């Protein structure tokens, strides 16, 4: 099995809500199965996670999506993602089944808090409903819309579109959100 590390959150990250009920998943994968495959659960926290049964009291998060390769070059995580685990490649030298490629798993906490939900001020994606503040010229970072974070919200993302021209005329700030609709249209709050 491969090891995981919780990433350092980058500026301009996004997120979205998910249903409260979580479907059951199989206990642990068979030998040769993908480490932290979709619907698997992880236990641990901080810098280290292990795959555990979703029924285990140690389970803290479920995999929403799992991709091979570096995150910068890969698909965007689902909107409901609370955090992303970066998976280190493991080469056991015996066979591809016994080895694991570099990759990442898009994770959703099994219980609150859900920093990936719109307006919560955390999570790896910026989505409609999130608030941002200007850290410095040309750089915005996400913050809680209710003002409970260390920085007051200055703008709220009201829509995600494919191009700036698709934003409403009332848009005060364009935020890079990535994915199929890479532009966030934001309105000034203060």
pLDDT (tens place) for every residue of the chain, 190 residues total:
444 444 434 444 444 333 333 334 444 445 456 888 999 999 987 778 999 999 999 999 999 999 998 888 788 899 899 999 998 887 766 666 666 778 999 999 999 999 999 999 888 889 999 999 999 998 999 999 999 999 999 999 999 999 999 999 999 999 998 777 789 999 999 7
CA distances to 69, 120, 142, 160, 166 from 112, in Å = 29, 11, 19, 26, 35
Q: Which two tokens stand for residue 51?
A: 């795959």
Cα distance between residue 83 and residue 65, in whole Å? 11
Domain chopping of the chain, boundaries = 1-17+27-114, 131-188
Confidence at residue 99, expressed as pLDDT on a 0 to 100 scale: 65
Could you tell me how many residues make up the chain?
Answer: 190
Q: Quick one: which of 101, 15, 23, 116 has its CA closest to 62?
A: 23
Confidence at residue 92, expressed as pLDDT on a 0 to 100 scale: 66
Cα distance between residue 144 and residue 150, in whole Å? 9
Cα distance between residue 79 and residue 62, in whole Å? 14
Confidence at residue 93, expressed as pLDDT on a 0 to 100 scale: 64
Q: What are phi and psi of 64, to 5 degrees?
A: -85, -35
Confidence at residue 72, expressed as pLDDT on a 0 to 100 scale: 82
pTM over 0.85: no
Q: Which two tokens stand for residue 122?
A: 């955390």
Classified as helix, coil or strand, 165 is: helix
């Amino acid at each position: 099995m491969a090891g995981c590390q919780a990433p350092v959150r980058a500026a301009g990250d996004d997120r979205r809500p998910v249903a409260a009920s979580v479907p059951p998943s199989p206990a642990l994968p068979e030998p040769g199965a993908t480490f932290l495959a979709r619907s698997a659960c992880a236990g641990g926290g901080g810098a280290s996670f292990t795959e555990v049964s979703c029924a285990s009291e140690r389970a803290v998060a479920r995999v929403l999506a799992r991709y091979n390769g570096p995150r910068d070059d890969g698909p965007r995580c689902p909107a409901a993602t609370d955090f992303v685990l970066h998976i280190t490649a493991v080469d056991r030298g015996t066979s591809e089944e016994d080895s694991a490629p570099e990759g990442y798993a898009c994770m959703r906490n099994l219980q609150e808090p859900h920093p990936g939900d719109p307006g919560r001020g955390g999570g790896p994606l910026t989505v409609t409903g999130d608030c941002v503040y200007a850290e410095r010229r040309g750089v915005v970072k996400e913050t809680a819309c209710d003002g409970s974070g260390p920085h007051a919200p200055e703008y709220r993302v009201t829509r995600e579109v494919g191009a700036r021209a698709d934003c409403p005329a009332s848009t005060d700030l364009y935020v890079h959100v990535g994915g199929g609709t890479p532009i966030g249209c934001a309105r000034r709050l203060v």
